[in-house]
């Protein structure tokens, strides 16, 4: 019996002429001396020093306020498995020396796990935005960013910005004022925080360049949960504010393949590649099938000579996105992959 597994996805595209050989990364003459770890860490710790001290009376004889965010940053930078582990090693002379010299933790005075939470929890994540902006400016000035240019068709000097939401905290017991709530007031009530993360990516580059993420948390004065759909509006507005001249192609998953998100991206002058899955975007696939019948789609099939895996492509321009957005026309690349028939 023939066994064939099929995987399908479609991408809706803002740009034509994507088919063909992907562009190679540019060879770039770059000045990386400003991109050494110590210089980049210094740039971040300088920004963290600007966070205002919110403690009553600023705890004059206590741990300097800047030591809190800088210790937290160091904990993440050295990839500590937990805050408790960081806490247990904060008396280690080698660790203290590194914290003082590399992370500018004054007098090596590292807060304990509990105090770190008390002092850092109320700090708005927006205070971290400046470090991301400065790091990006440094990467841009060094010439390193050019390696990430990804021209598609008529689009030159564009960069791929991949965005997705991720959960960073979930508990059935612990919560704070910023927590979003699942099953509020019912059995199985739980609390969570999410983050909208993003990176400039390039298929030929092993590293990625993050821009400032957006916290998906309950917004001030709001009784409803925050959501990825609301967060993307704040996120894109911040990217435009911080990087008004950056030419972007926004990469998103199927959750965002809708009229409002596409119009928002276009309003900022950017382009997009968004995944649209069969199950959630039936009308889009039906519109493709209709164009197919009218022989208005380009298609080709490629078979991998070694594995026998077949790649089926079809492509059309100006396909209506869905029934509620008939005037929103998108370019669609429909892709199906089938295993070798055994």
> Per the structure block, which two tokens stand in for 103?
């992370």
The size of the interface with Zn ion (CB under 5 A), counted in residues, is 3
Between 43 and 176, CB nearer to Zn ion:
176
Tokens of 112: 């304990």
**From 60-68, 106-114, 174-182, 290-298, span contacting Zn ion (CB under 5 A):** 174-182
- φ/ψ (deg, to 5) at 275: -70, 135
Q: Does 179 bind Zn ion (CB under 5 A)?
A: yes
Q: Is 168 in the site for Zn ion (CB under 5 A)?
A: no
Residue 262, burial from CB neighbour count under 10 angstroms (0-12, 13-18, 19+): buried
Residue reference for tokens 């920004």: 47
Minimum distance from CB of 171 to Zn ion (Å)?
A: 8
Q: Between 178 and 258, whose beta carbon lies closer to Zn ion?
A: 178
Would you say 178 or 198 has its CB closer to Zn ion? 178
Q: Looking at beta carbons only, is 64 or 197 nearer to Zn ion?
A: 197
Question: For 188, how many CA atoms within 13 A lie in the half-sphere containing its CB?
Answer: 2
Strands (E), 130-278: 159-171, 180-182, 190-201, 209-210, 214-216, 248-252, 271-276
d(CA 101, CA 170): 35
Q: Considering beta carbons, is residue 178 or 226 the nearer one to Zn ion?
A: 178
Q: Is 102 in the site for Zn ion (CB under 5 A)?
A: no
Q: Does 336 bind Zn ion (CB under 5 A)?
A: no
Q: Which of 176, 201, 255, 309 binds Zn ion (CB under 5 A)?
A: 176
If the CB atoms of residues 42 and 234 are measured against Zn ion, the closer one turns out to be 234
Contact flag: residue 120 with Zn ion (CB under 5 A): no
Should residue 216 be labelled a site residue for Zn ion when binding is judged by CB under 5 A?
no
Instruction: Give the burial string for 8-23 (b: 16+ CB within 10 Å, else e).
Output: eebbbbbeeebeeeee
The bridge status of strand 271-276 relative to strand 248-252 is parallel
Interface with Zn ion by CB under 5 A: which residues?
Answer: 176, 178-179
């Amino acid at each position: 019996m023939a066994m064939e597994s099929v995987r399908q996805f479609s991408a809706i595209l803002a740009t034509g002429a994507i088919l063909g050989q992907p562009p190679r990364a540019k060879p770039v003459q770059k000045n990386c001396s400003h991109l050494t770890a110590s210089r980049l860490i210094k740039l971040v710790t300088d920004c963290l020093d600007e966070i205002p001290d919110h403690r009553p009376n600023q705890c004059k004889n206590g741990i300097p306020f800047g030591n809190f965010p800088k210790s937290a940053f160091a904990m993440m930078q050295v990839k500590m498995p937990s805050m408790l582990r960081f806490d247990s090693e904060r008396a280690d002379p080698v660790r203290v020396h590194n914290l003082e010299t590399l992370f500018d933790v004054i007098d090596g005075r590292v807060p304990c796990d509990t105090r770190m939470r008390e002092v850092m929890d109320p700090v708005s994540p927006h205070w971290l935005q400046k470090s991301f902006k400065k790091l990006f400016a440094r990467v841009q000035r060094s010439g390193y960013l050019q390696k990430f240019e990804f021209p598609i068709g008529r689009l030159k000097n564009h960069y791929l910005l991949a965005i997705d939401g991720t959960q960073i905290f979930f508990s059935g017991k612990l919560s704070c004022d910023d927590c979003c709530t699942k099953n509020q007031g019912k059995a199985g009530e739980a609390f969570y925080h999410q983050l909208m993360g993003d990176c400039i990516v390039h298929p030929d580059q092993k590293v990625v360049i993050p821009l400032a993420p957006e916290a998906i948390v309950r917004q001030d004065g709001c009784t409803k949960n925050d959501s990825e759909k609301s967060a993307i509006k704040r996120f894109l507005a911040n990217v435009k504010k911080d990087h008004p001249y950056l030419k972007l192609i926004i990469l998103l998953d199927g959750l965002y393949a809708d009229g409002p998100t596409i119009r928002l991206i276009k309003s900022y002058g950017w382009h997009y590649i968004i995944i649209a899955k069969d199950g959630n975007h039936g009308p889009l696939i039906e519109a493709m099938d209709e164009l197919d019948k009218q022989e208005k789609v380009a298609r080709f099939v490629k078979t991998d000579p070694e594995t026998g895996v077949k790649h089926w492509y079809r492509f059309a321009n100006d396909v209506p996105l869905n029934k509620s957005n008939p005037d929103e026309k998108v370019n669609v690349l429909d892709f199906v992959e089938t295993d070798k028939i055994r």
